[in-house]
Structure 1
Amino acid sequence: MSIEPIRPAGEARRGPRPHRAHGRSTNHLPGPVLGAAIQASRVDALVVTMTPPTASAPVPPDPAQHWLPPRQVPAPFREVLARERELLAIDEFAGPPARAHRPKVLVVSGMSGVGKTTVTTHWAWSNRSRFTGGQLFSDLSHYRGRGAVATVEVLGGFLHALGVPAQVIPPDLAGRAALFRSRTADAPVLVVLDDADQAAQVRPFVPSAPGSVVLVTSSHRLSGLLVEGASSLALRPLDAEAGYRLLVDQVPDEVRRSLPRPDVDAVVDLCGGLPLALRIAGARLAEATNWPARTLRKYLSDDKHRLSRLAVGGHAVRHVFDTTVDNLHPRLRTFYRRLGLHPGPEFSVAAAATVSGLSESDSAEALDHLFEANLVEGVRPHRFRFHDLVRLHARAVADQDEPAAEQESILDRITSWYLAGARAADVAVVGADRWRSCAAPSATWPGPAFTPATAVRWWETERRNLLETIRTAEDRGDDQAVLALCEALWPFYHGHKLHSDWIEAHRVGVRSALRSGDLVAETRMRNQLARAYLELRQFDQADAELEAALAAAERSGEPRAAAVVRESRGVAFRDRGEWPHAAVEFEESLRINEGVADERGTALQLYHLADVLVRAGEPERAIELLTRAAGIAERLGDDMTTARVDIVLGAAYQELDLPSAARPFLERAAATARERGQRAKEVEALRRLLVVLGETAPAALTERLTQLADAAEREPPVGC
């Protein structure tokens, strides 16, 4: 600071006059003086010029205090984090201090409640001795929404903690950042910035000394910092075993020993592996007399109230999600809550556009913002998903803020979208000439045209969403949508043997048919449900459904309804090994299909009847029927019926001990099924082909069959 008094022109500079006190001159000041002092008997005008310290200027020590390096990182409450891999990852990131050549910045990101603060502070506390220049900590959520003002304040606090006197701390951000770099140039410093929400909040806090580390926790990914060279560590919810360890960590030993593991595992699953939710549930379990595990499991099983029930002692899962969403732009908040009405947790950009009412390009941009905020996660290109608890939150916000009429409109749109897709896939796989009793959806499929293979892939990708759409349609009383979806999904469920989805969907279908009083629909739903029971060899359930289906078909007066039930009754007798009874049912179904001129139905009944004849030891007669069926299927361009016929032709020639005749039919059937994505039929064809080829079978066929079997075992249950 320079001080220069203003004198009248021409007046000579004179020395300062001594101050008079009680008639005596004195040159003393009471008490210590920090900084500059002015001594004068009179000053007419004064010009004061403040020159802030530069980055290279030495900082005077504060004589009023004995300065020690700050130790601001809070101590952890508990040792059990179930985050050993993440702590090791931070160890590897920080590296040995002796080999450090520069400061490092790590962004620890993840959804709200995933344990970012706990992990970073645990590591910082455990490694505090290596940072001899001090450890600094700030919870930036206390300064949320104040932008650069917050950064200036936090920097001022850090500088003061580093021993810089308050009167020499610059007022501006640039000056404080420069001084911070100077002050942290000599020894490694650890900086923990908790709950940052933008990259600009972090940049001024990077120390200068090699070996320094900046740990940033954020519900956002802070991609801007990554572009500039920072590293990232994404925290995900805990797996089942780690979640169990964290949950029971709070439970006294005498209670823990008596906890039923199935109930505790169910609670872990209901918490979605989210550490905050698990800690809250663990606090409940610790009160064993009030909250036995089974009671807590039931208490949290209600999707509608689970979020509000995951709260204890001022800690609430809903609150941390609310905080993240409240910081979104209003347009993104609307997009987020509308996504909560989507019938499944995973969705494509096109489905998000259908729900939100935005274009696909705008929806893709909005999803990028939600991804950056860790509210959705990417599962593959152009496809995202909600965490289970975030999905419940988005739905709760929609129920709270979205008008009821708009909610109904959104659900109508997305139901029609999935129904149009399922129907378009059905036509691509089976053909347009299949008998369909449900009215076609009013909406046309807006996506790309399906081939048989892409149709099956779409079905597989949207499997869970399609079942959830059926559930949602039932909840809304939309029986027509339920029935149309079940009809369209029949080839998928049957061809891929997805028995859990198949049974649940068709149980819903039966209820919808009964409510609507549609006898033909009731016939089809019961008949298709019975076929799932038959494949599981649950014959009593199958017989009951077929009996009710036949009664409904006869009351309806629709001959094709009766024909499909006769076919299924034939399958039931065939699976029991009752060939004559099976042949009678297939012959009756064949007669009905020929009577209504249903060529595809005729070809299928010829195939079924021939299959029974091969099993009954009449392969010559079977070949005659199969030749006729093959001609019809070829005329219709029905590749899958041709593949079915080829498999039975291979079996017939195999029965006649003519392997060379059987081989081309089985090879063609396997190729067609593979091209169409029909794994069950490909397995059937390959198994027969391997028998036919014997020792000459190439290893590739065996490997392919093994792959298909492994894939079937890995198929996750979705329905029941």
Structure 2
Amino acid sequence: MEGHRNSVTGQARIEGVALQAGDIRGGVHIHSHAPALLPVPRQLPPAPAHLPGRDAELSALDREWDEPPPPGGRCLVLTGPAGVGKSALACRWLHARAEDFPDGLFYADLRGHAPGGPADPAEVLGAFLRALGLPAVPAAFDEAGALWRSATARKRFAVLLDSAATAAQVRPLLSGADRSVTVVTSRARLTGLGIDRARFFAVDLVGPAAAAAILARLVGADRIAAEPLAADQVVTRCAGLPLAICVAGARMAARPQQPLAATAEALRREGDRLAALRLDGEASVRGVLDASYRALAPESGRLYRLLGLLPVPEFTPAVAGAAAGLSPTEADDGLDALAGVHLLEERGAGRYRFHDLVRLHAGGLGRAEEAPEQGEAAVRRVAEHYLAAATAAEARLMPSHRFLPRDYLEPPVDVPELASESAVVDWFERERDQLAAVLRHSMRTHRYGLVWQLADALQPVFIRLRPHAFQLEAHRLGLDAARRCGDRIAEQWMLTSGGQGLRSAGLVRESADWYAAALEVSRANGDVRAEAQACTGLGHAHRMLGELDSARSRFEEALRLRESLGYRRGVGLVRVALGEVAVDAADEAEAVRQLSLAVEDLTAVDDPYQVCRALAVRARAHLLAGRYAPARADLESARAGFVAAGSTHWQARADEWLGELALAQGDFATARELFTAAHEAYRRLAAPDTARLARCLAALPPQ
């Protein structure tokens, strides 16, 4: 092949798969790693060991299930007052039928009556898709719903949507799979789901015999037999509400020497402060909860009140400690004490939450008995705990990112260590809902500095994991907050970070608008580093829009600015971007030059993840020039780094380009294997990439 070269001239461009090869001798084999298999989702809370008084409801659900399935799957709605046991009934029935759902049991708390408002269906869809192994959810809600329906179309699975607020909240979460069932629990009737062919089941209060059976299991048959009148009075005053019976029973079980008559008398004296909820039986719940609260040790009672004021749906010892100013051991003991009398539900792994009614009770006491400044301080300490944790995550993933301040009124304590990048990923998945709740509550309560600081601290996590909906919400709130406090420096960084989020979500035109605004603000501020960041963002937007000359001009401007600052990491990142533009323009020599310089810069500042990005793009340039050996070496090295960093997107990109390398060398079988792996990964990340890989697979010769 000496003296021969394939070339592209004029304005022609190559897109998609290209095959360039001379003589091929021998076999070429490139192997990709098989994706890790995720466990089948088994997300339901544990089923109660005993469920007295629910035989009729269980039989009705069984009969409905045994009927021929309607097209689009079943939707079964359990309605009834709070605390009546709707969730327990649903869990018991689904666990008993688990063998009918080999492809998964999904669970979501829709938080229909939570203080922070109902769960966003988009967030629930995201959690379900991640459980299916689709970690990056399309930013557009309708695209996420379509992906959920496509991914589950042929599966046999069940979904429990607990504590729904409205039919509109539920409807986008219905999969439509013929062999699926969605069970919904709600205090509301949700009659609007009738148009979705839902079947409705009323869950009423339990009868006296069932209530007595629940109490006997908690207290013991011997004590019931010794004081039958007092036991009957407790059952009567709990008004057939299982929650009330369980709390009263736990109170009596914790006092084996105290007569049952003492609890019966305590219930008789209680007022009706939950009557405003207008649900039958809740006056007795208030009485039961008041009685249990007054029996708490003073420190446990204070913790209970303060937890009721917090905006977060779950509590850990660290959160409880921050709220009440307790040591980790004291906080753990306090949570355990509250869970021991059924005032908190233990969710496993050191996490707790309130039942809806108990949260109302605790919050009411907090507002009534805590001085306003004490309650506000508890909420502030918890918010600052999450700010400190997010800052620790930021330092682990991207140490050079932080140069904006973090303002704490008190030094945070018990901040997670997050000793590795994988620990950051795990932390974010656990705390995503809490972080969102803190952001929203801080915005509602005018703590604007904390809003933009938390959004800023989370940016490295957003870049790595691409939770589009949360990132966009965080930066829209952050930008509004920065402007409300008149902080122009914070405003410019919310604009650049938000621009990146919009670009990542595919909202390129809006991204360009944010970057242009960031450029204007940064120049007014005289902030050269921020100006360079805005220029870089505009360059990326122009490139994604196919405007290569404008992209190159913006990147070259950013390069000059960053070189003037001596910001070597930033210089390296701009060189990667210039290399990408050169690859797009089929200028392989310029691409290799820029990317080799980028590798040097990013290696010097010890940023292995970005080094891998530079290697991968340089491999692309080698591949387009027909230099297969250096292309393979760069891609294999980069892919190993992406796997170690948990970057699914760039791992898929490396597989795609390795597939193109195999194709160029005539190894169609390996190309198909690699394209298939990349296609599956892209399917979990973004529809445009998925479509491109589908075209690559379709262009391969038949097997």
For residues 180-329 of structure 1, the aligned pairs below 5 Å read 218-219=246-247, 310-312=277-279, 315=282, 319=286, 322-323=289-290, 325-326=292-293, 328-329=295-296
| Aligned-residue offset at 1:485 | 1.4
Alpha-carbon distance change, 121 to 420 in structure 1, aligned in 2, over 3 angstroms: same
Q: Counterpart of 2:315 in 1: which secondary structure?
A: strand
Structure 1 residue 408 and structure 2 residue 436: aligned? no
Aligned to 1:232: none
Instruction: Deviation per CA, 1:664-708: give whole Å up to 9, x if none.
Output: 322333332332233333333333334334546499977875775
- Kept in 1, the 8 Å contact 2:588–2:622? The answer is yes
Aligned to 1:472: 441
Comparing 582-591 and 408-417, the one that deviates more? 408-417
Query: In the alignment, residue 324 of structure 2 is paired with which amino acid?
Result: S
Query: In the alignment, residue 366 of structure 1 is paired with which amino acid?
Result: G
Instruction: Deviation per CA, 1:451-499: give whole Å up to 9, x if none.
Output: 2221232223222222222223223332322222111111111222212
Instruction: Deviation per CA, 1:286-327: give whole Å up to 9, x if none.
Output: xxxxxxxxxxxxxxxxxxxx9876424564697377357536
Higher relative contact order (CA 8 A, sep 6+): 2
| Aligned-residue offset at 1:372 | 3.5
Structure 1 residue 587 and structure 2 residue 556: aligned? yes
Taking the aligned partners of 2:276 and 2:423, their CA distance within structure 1 comes to 43
Structure 1 residue 368 and structure 2 residue 442: aligned? no
Query: In the alignment, residue 658 of structure 1 is paired with which amino acid?
Result: R
Taking the aligned partners of 1:704 and 1:195, their CA distance within structure 2 comes to 62
Taking the aligned partners of 1:343 and 1:578, their CA distance within structure 2 comes to 45
Q: Counterpart of 2:626 in 1: which secondary structure?
A: coil
Alpha-carbon distance change, 698 to 321 in structure 1, aligned in 2, over 3 angstroms: farther
Taking the aligned partners of 1:396 and 1:307, their CA distance within structure 2 comes to 10
Query: In the alignment, residue 382 of structure 2 is paired with which amino acid?
Result: I
| Aligned-residue offset at 1:623 | 1.1
- Kept in 2, the 8 Å contact 1:513–1:521? The answer is yes
Q: Counterpart of 1:604 in 2: which secondary structure?
A: helix
Matching residue within 500, 519, 528 for 1:559: 528
Comparing 459-468 and 566-575, the one that deviates more? 459-468
Alpha-carbon distance change, 315 to 594 in structure 1, aligned in 2, over 3 angstroms: same
Query: In the alignment, residue 602 of structure 1 is paired with which amino acid?
Result: V
Structure 1 residue 153 and structure 2 residue 227: aligned? yes
| Aligned-residue offset at 1:589 | 0.7
Aligned to 2:387: 419
Structure 1 residue 436 and structure 2 residue 403: aligned? yes
- Kept in 1, the 8 Å contact 2:635–2:654? The answer is yes
Aligned to 2:653: 684
Structure 1 length as normaliser, TM-score? 0.57
Aligned to 1:172: none
- Kept in 2, the 8 Å contact 1:570–1:582? The answer is yes
Alpha-carbon distance change, 368 to 586 in structure 1, aligned in 2, over 3 angstroms: same
Structure 1 residue 650 and structure 2 residue 584: aligned? no
Aligned to 1:452: 421
- Kept in 1, the 8 Å contact 2:649–2:682? The answer is no
- Kept in 2, the 8 Å contact 1:348–1:383? The answer is yes
Aligned to 1:35: none
- Kept in 2, the 8 Å contact 1:574–1:582? The answer is yes
Matching residue within 442, 458, 463 for 2:432: 463
Aligned to 2:318: 350
- Kept in 1, the 8 Å contact 2:472–2:498? The answer is yes
Q: Counterpart of 1:462 in 2: which secondary structure?
A: helix
| Aligned-residue offset at 1:574 | 0.7
- Kept in 2, the 8 Å contact 1:345–1:391? The answer is no
Taking the aligned partners of 1:528 and 1:88, their CA distance within structure 2 comes to 43
- Kept in 1, the 8 Å contact 2:576–2:594? The answer is yes
Comparing 408-417 and 379-388, the one that deviates more? 379-388
Query: In the alignment, residue 624 of structure 2 is paired with which amino acid?
Result: E
Matching residue within 457, 481, 491 for 1:512: 481
Aligned to 1:212: none
Query: In the alignment, residue 344 of structure 2 is paired with which amino acid?
Result: V
| Aligned-residue offset at 1:544 | 3.1
Taking the aligned partners of 1:499 and 1:516, their CA distance within structure 2 comes to 26
| Aligned-residue offset at 1:523 | 1.0
| Aligned-residue offset at 1:381 | 1.6
- Kept in 2, the 8 Å contact 1:495–1:680? The answer is no
Alpha-carbon distance change, 603 to 138 in structure 1, aligned in 2, over 3 angstroms: closer
- Kept in 2, the 8 Å contact 1:221–1:374? The answer is no
Query: In the alignment, residue 627 of structure 1 is paired with which amino acid?
Result: S
Greater gyration radius: 1
Q: Counterpart of 1:384 in 2: which secondary structure?
A: strand
- Kept in 2, the 8 Å contact 1:310–1:317? The answer is no
- Kept in 2, the 8 Å contact 1:138–1:193? The answer is no
- Kept in 1, the 8 Å contact 2:384–2:412? The answer is yes
For residues 9-20 of structure 1, the aligned pairs below 5 Å read none
Structure 2 length as normaliser, TM-score? 0.59
Taking the aligned partners of 2:413 and 2:450, their CA distance within structure 1 comes to 14
Matching residue within 364, 376, 398 for 1:396: 364
Instruction: Deviation per CA, 1:624-662: give whole Å up to 9, x if none.
Output: 111111111111111121122122122212222334322
Q: Which runs of 5+ in 1 are unaligned?
A: 1-72, 92-109, 126-135, 159-191, 198-215, 226-305, 715-720
Structure 1 residue 338 and structure 2 residue 306: aligned? yes
Structure 1 residue 673 and structure 2 residue 701: aligned? no
Taking the aligned partners of 1:515 and 1:372, their CA distance within structure 2 comes to 44
Query: In the alignment, residue 653 of structure 2 is paired with which amino acid?
Result: E
Alpha-carbon distance change, 321 to 494 in structure 1, aligned in 2, over 3 angstroms: farther
Q: Counterpart of 2:347 in 1: which secondary structure?
A: strand
Aligned to 2:565: 596
- Kept in 2, the 8 Å contact 1:502–1:532? The answer is yes
Aligned length: 479
Comparing 342-351 and 489-498, the one that deviates more? 342-351
| Aligned-residue offset at 1:445 | 6.7
- Kept in 2, the 8 Å contact 1:340–1:392? The answer is yes
Comparing 216-225 and 528-537, the one that deviates more? 216-225
Aligned to 1:19: none
- Kept in 2, the 8 Å contact 1:560–1:592? The answer is yes
